[in-house]
């Protein structure tokens, strides 16, 4: 059974969270009311997941939940910490994710969202491996296209309810370019690769610098679309391996607008489809330049579970694949 440490100074909230988790088969192994208690109980109990509030009574060392998160992640970088707070300000969320929190849930907590995030959180290492392999495929493909080494990295992956994506990304009115591809049928899923305007310009330069042609807007737009298509298809290739069947996407579409305008329209369409968003931070590097973006995956719950279980089976059965230690921990939790 997956063990959870609940950190909140409200007895009511701790009882509520405990009851929700019990209904989903999770075991509450400890409760803390401030950051100092959270750090000490984590050292003592080594729980699989921590549910951590931000605004609590101050301890001697950890004055807030952010302080506790910083201390836990410094000593235990692989800790699975989920922030549960009514303080859903963008800067707070960004700081928590920067420090290593796996997900953010805004109060009032919805039972289905909590159970969904817990389910994904314990298996994020499988999904992180999906990102690592996908980045490797993209590195090979992009390097061949531009005839120069382009390295693709996926430093982190976070999960949370789709409606929190604007807060997680935190760009709001920033001009943004999005390359979007969708899957329908057995694998109901949407994938988006998003770049801010400045980063999109870097991507265009990264893709076209070796060409002798004049760089017009048409070429830049096409170069961005090509990189997005290669990146998304590289991920789809790995997802197909994990799922065990072919994934054929619809043709890509490119959208340029403010981030909120793009995401709001997209999430309205997603409301009845996806319960969780997976956000892969992405970085593209070449010898003289680099660019960054976010690859966002919106799978249905059924497809997400299929990817996770398929990934576990693939790693367990493939003797040529070295299973990361974190994945082994996931297996021991699930066994």
Residue 272 DSSP class: T
Cα distance between residue 20 and residue 26, in whole Å: 9
- Tens of pLDDT along 279-301? 898 999 988 788 988 898 888 87
Say what the pLDDT of residue 127 is.
85
44-58, 261-275, 319-333: range with lowest mean pLDDT: 319-333
Rounded mean pLDDT, 58-87: 87
Q: Which helix (H) or strand (E) holds 294?
A: strand 290-299
**37 contacts 61 by C-beta, under 8 angstroms:** no
| Percent of the chain residues past pLDDT 70, beyond the cut | 84
pLDDT at 321 over 50: no
Cross-strand partners of 179: 193, 254
pLDDT at 272 over 70: no
pLDDT higher for 223 or 12?
12
Q: ∠ CA 109-262-99 to the nearest 5 degrees?
A: 50
pLDDT higher for 15 or 187?
15
Say what the pLDDT of residue 28 is.
96
Torsion angle (degrees, nearest 10) of CA 107, 110, 115, 120: -60
Q: Which of the four pLDDT bands, split at 50, 70 and 90, describes residue 277?
A: confident
**238 contacts 322 by C-beta, under 8 angstroms:** no
Handedness of CA 313, 317, 320, 323 (dihedral sign): positive
- Tens of pLDDT along 2-25? 899 999 999 999 999 999 999 999
Q: Which of the four pLDDT bands, split at 50, 70 and 90, describes residue 332?
A: very low
Say what the pLDDT of residue 78 is.
84
Cα distance between residue 327 and residue 316, in whole Å: 10
Distance from first CA to last CA of the chain, Å, rounded?
A: 9
Write the CB contacts of 283 (distance below 8 Å, at least 6 apart in sequence). 152, 153, 154, 155, 290, 291, 292
**114, 182, 258 from 46: Cα distances, Å:** 20, 39, 42
Q: Which of the four pLDDT bands, split at 50, 70 and 90, describes residue 141?
A: very high
**71, 74, 77 from 100: Cα distances, Å:** 11, 9, 8
Residue 82 DSSP class: E
Say what the pLDDT of residue 171 is.
61
Nearest residue to 54 via CA among 45, 64, 46: 64
Rounded mean pLDDT, 239-250: 88
Say what the pLDDT of residue 168 is.
59
Structural domains in the chain, CATH included, are 3-122 (3.40.50.2300), 124-334 (3.40.1550.10)
Q: Residue 100 has which token pair? A: 């290593």
Residue 173, number of CB atoms within 10 A of its CB: 10
Residue 2 DSSP class: -
**220 contacts 314 by C-beta, under 8 angstroms:** no
Say what the pLDDT of residue 289 is.
83
Mean pLDDT score across all residues of the chain = 82
Rounded mean pLDDT, 72-89: 85
pLDDT higher for 218 or 5?
5
9-23, 34-48, 201-215: range with lowest mean pLDDT: 201-215
Say what the pLDDT of residue 213 is.
56
pLDDT at 318 over 70: no
Rounded mean pLDDT, 77-99: 80
Q: Which of the four pLDDT bands, split at 50, 70 and 90, describes residue 327?
A: very low
């Amino acid at each position: 059974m997956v063990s959870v440490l609940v950190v909140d100074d409200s007895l009511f909230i701790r009882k509520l969270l405990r009851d929700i988790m019990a209904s989903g088969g999770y075991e509450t192994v400890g409760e803390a009311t401030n950051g100092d208690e959270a750090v000490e109980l984590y050292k003592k109990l080594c729980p699989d997941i921590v549910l951590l509030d931000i605004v609590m009574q101050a301890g001697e060392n950890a004055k807030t939940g952010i302080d506790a998160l910083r201390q836990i992640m410094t000593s235990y970088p692989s800790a699975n910490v989920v922030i549960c707070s009514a303080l859903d300000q963008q800067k707070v969320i960004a700081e928590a994710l920067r420090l290593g929190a796996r997900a953010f849930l805004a109060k009032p907590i919805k039972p289905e969202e909590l159970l969904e995030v817990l389910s994904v959180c314990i298996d994020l290492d499988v999904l992180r491996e999906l990102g690592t392999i996908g980045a490797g495929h993209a590195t090979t493909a992009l390097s061949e296209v531009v005839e120069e080494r382009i390295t693709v990295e996926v430093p982190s992956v976070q999960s949370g309810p789709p409606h929190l994506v604007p807060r997680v990304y935190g760009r709001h009115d920033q001009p943004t370019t999005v390359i979007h591809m969708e899957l329908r049928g057995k694998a109901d899923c949407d994938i988006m690769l998003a770049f801010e305007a400045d980063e999109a310009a870097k991507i265009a330069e990264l893709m076209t610098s070796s060409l002798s042609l004049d760089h017009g807007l048409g070429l830049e737009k096409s170069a961005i679309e090509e990189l997005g298509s290669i990146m998304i298809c590289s991920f789809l290739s790995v997802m197909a391996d994990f799922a065990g069947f072919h994934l054929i996407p619809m043709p890509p579409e490119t959208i340029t607008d403010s981030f909120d305008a793009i995401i709001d329209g997209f999430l309205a369409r997603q409301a009845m489809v996806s319960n969780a968003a997976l956000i892969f931070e992405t970085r593209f590097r070449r010898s003289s330049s680099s660019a960054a973006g976010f690859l966002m995956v919106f799978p249905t719950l059924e497809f997400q579970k299929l990817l996770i279980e398929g990934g576990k089976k693939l790693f367990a059965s493939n003797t040529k694949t070295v299973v990361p230690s974190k994945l082994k921990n996931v297996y021991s939790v699930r066994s």
